[in-house]
């Protein structure tokens, strides 16, 4: 069994966007079925906004044939072939491990790719296009991806301003589950902040000058509570968390109006707008913690540097897992011998047991069972010794 039968053909983040868009698999199930019809023994498709890759196992089908599939399936011109990357064997194994760890992502260590790798193998399982080899390969990749993020702590080094805003809030309250949060601004950063807060268990309230826009947003994010704009300051003053992310040219939270309604409760405010939304004097009020976008950007830059410093650590983990997978793969060649050793050991054990008990008289059933257990133990020890020898020499 040649490990070079593991192959990958595809494009990644380095391919121009206008070309990546053309090779995004809309119906992965249909594509898997068509690829299996080519004669591939196993096949998995990983399709994201940054990559479109076909991993396949075949002793007969070449990467050129899968390249042709790409061209024909998406109706592309022949010159697209120059963008298609092809790798084999341990290089392909290492590649999917690196992908799962986030080493091949736009943002090193990002989390989303891990769930996408998991979804890719789950879909292949659903359509019976993945067998023993790819099930092992992709499950190992997912496990490694989790381990790399947990052991290095890279998953905690956020780069998204909205995510970091919520992290700042967590540092103030430790646990924000059940906390009342008020988000100002319905743009991308504001919506991301809402989703991050909701994920952490906060109760999120929003408002907008145009009330209908807030209602429309609730259709997309049903967990939010929409409040009338004229009651904004009352809700802000009764909140634990306030995040503002508008594009207004002036303060959306003024010092004077806030001071009128503030009741002295502990509030964490995060201003991620530019120009600023929250009058900076509010941060001087006792009980109020105010962070600006500069605070968040500084953290983002520090996190970016630390993420990059962790690359060698994760790469070492990848190399170790590639070696483990190679050893496992080599044992596939001796599986028939391992099964034969186990079968023969079991046969000898049963034969000798029958020979012994047929010669013995007045032996209780308990004694017979003890004899069988002892013979089985001896047979297993000898079989395991032989199996260990086979595996050692397979490497």
Query: In the beta sheet, which residues pair with residue 267?
Result: 288
- Is residue 49 flagged as an active site residue? yes
Question: What ranges in 174-309 are assigned the alpha helix state H?
Answer: 188-199, 211-220, 232-237, 255-261, 293-309
Residues in the chain: 395
Query: Residue 70 and residue 76: Cα distance in Å, rounded?
Result: 8
User: Any binding-site annotation on 89?
Assistant: no
Task: Catalogue the E-assigned strands of 232-378.
Answer: 241-244, 267-271, 288-292
Query: Prior bond to 352 cis, omega within 30?
Result: no
In angstroms, the first-to-last Cα distance of the chain is 13
145 assigned to a ligand binding site: no
Q: Is 50 annotated as a binding residue?
A: yes
Distance in angstroms (rounded) separating the CA atoms of residues 103 and 110: 9
Considering the candidates 49, 101, 268, 349, report the single residue annotated as catalytic. Answer: 49
User: Is 187 annotated as belonging to a binding site?
Assistant: yes
Six token digits for residue 142: 């997912």
**What's the distance, CA 102 to chain centroid?**
8
Q: Is 98 helix (H, G, I), strand (E, B) or coil?
A: helix
Q: In what order do the strands lie in the sheet with 42-47?
A: 42-47, 52-57, 6-11, 85-88
Q: How far apart are CA 182 and CA 173, in angstroms?
A: 15
Burial 248-261 (b: 16+ CB within 10 A, else e): eeebbbebeebeee
Find out whether 220 is annotated in a ligand binding site. Answer: no
| Cα gap 222→315, rounded to integer Å | 41
Q: Is 189 annotated as a binding residue?
A: yes
Cα gap 262→15, rounded to integer Å:
53
Q: What is the dihedral of CA 109, 328, 116, 20, to 10 degrees?
A: 90
| Residue 228 in tokens | 């009338």
**51 carries a ligand binding annotation:** yes
Q: Which two tokens stand for residue 9?
A: 């053909």
- Give the whole-angstrom CA distance, residue 373 versus residue 176: 58
Check whether 268 is labelled as a binding-site residue. no
CA 319 to chain centre: 19
Are 4 and 91 in contact by the 8 Å Cβ rule? The answer is no
Q: Does 111 belong to an annotated binding site?
A: yes
Is 102 annotated as a binding-site member? no
20 in a labelled binding site: no
* Binding site feature residues for NADP(+): 185-190
Active site residues: 49
* Binding site feature residues: 48-51, 105, 110-112, 116, 185-190
* Binding site feature residues for substrate: 48-51, 105, 110-112, 116
């Amino acid at each position: 069994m040649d490990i070079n039968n593991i192959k990958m053909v595809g494009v990644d983040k380095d391919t121009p966007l206008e070309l990546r868009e053309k090779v995004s698999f809309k119906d992965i199930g249909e594509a898997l079925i068509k690829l299996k019809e080519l004669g591939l023994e196993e096949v998995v498709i990983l399709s994201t906004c940054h990559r479109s890759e076909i991993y396949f196992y075949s002793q007969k089908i070449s990467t050129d044939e899968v390249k042709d599939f790409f061209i024909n399936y998406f109706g592309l011109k022949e010159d697209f072939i120059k963008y298609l990357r092809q790798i084999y064997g341990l290089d392909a194994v290492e590649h999917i491990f690196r992908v799962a760890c986030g080493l091949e992502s736009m943002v090193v260590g990002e989390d989303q790719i891990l769930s996408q790798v998991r979804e890719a193998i789950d879909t292949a399982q659903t359509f019976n296009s993945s067998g023993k080899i790819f099930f092992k390969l992709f499950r190992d990749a997912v496990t490694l991806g989790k381990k790399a993020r947990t052991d290095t702590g890279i998953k905690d080094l956020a780069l998204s301003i909205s995510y970091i805003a919520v992290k700042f809030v967590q540092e103030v309250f430790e646990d924000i589950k059940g906390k009342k949060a008020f988000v100002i601004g319905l743009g991308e950063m504001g919506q991301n902040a809402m989703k991050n807060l909701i994920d952490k268990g906060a109760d999120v309230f929003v408002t907008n000058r145009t009330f209908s826009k807030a209602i429309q947003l609730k259709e997309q994010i049903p967990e939010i509570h929409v409040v009338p704009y004229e009651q904004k300051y009352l809700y802000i003053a009764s909140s634990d968390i306030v995040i503002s992310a508008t594009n207004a040219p002036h303060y959306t939270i003024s010092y004077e109006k806030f001071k009128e309604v503030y009741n002295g409760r502990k509030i964490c405010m995060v201003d991620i707008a530019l120009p600023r939304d929250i009058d900076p004097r509010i941060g001087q009020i006792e009980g109020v913690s105010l962070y600006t976008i500069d605070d968040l950007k500084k953290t983002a830059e520090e996190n970016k540097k630390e993420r990059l410093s962790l690359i060698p650590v994760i790469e070492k983990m990848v190399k170790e897992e590639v070696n483990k997978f190679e050893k496992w793969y080599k044992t596939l060649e001796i599986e028939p011998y391992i099964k034969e050793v186990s079968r023969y050991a079991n046969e000898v054990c049963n034969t000798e047991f029958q020979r012994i008990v047929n010669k013995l008289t007045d032996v209780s059933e308990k004694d017979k069972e003890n004899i069988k257990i002892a013979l089985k133990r001896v047979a297993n020890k000898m079989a395991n010794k032989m199996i260990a020898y086979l595996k050692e020499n397979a490497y």
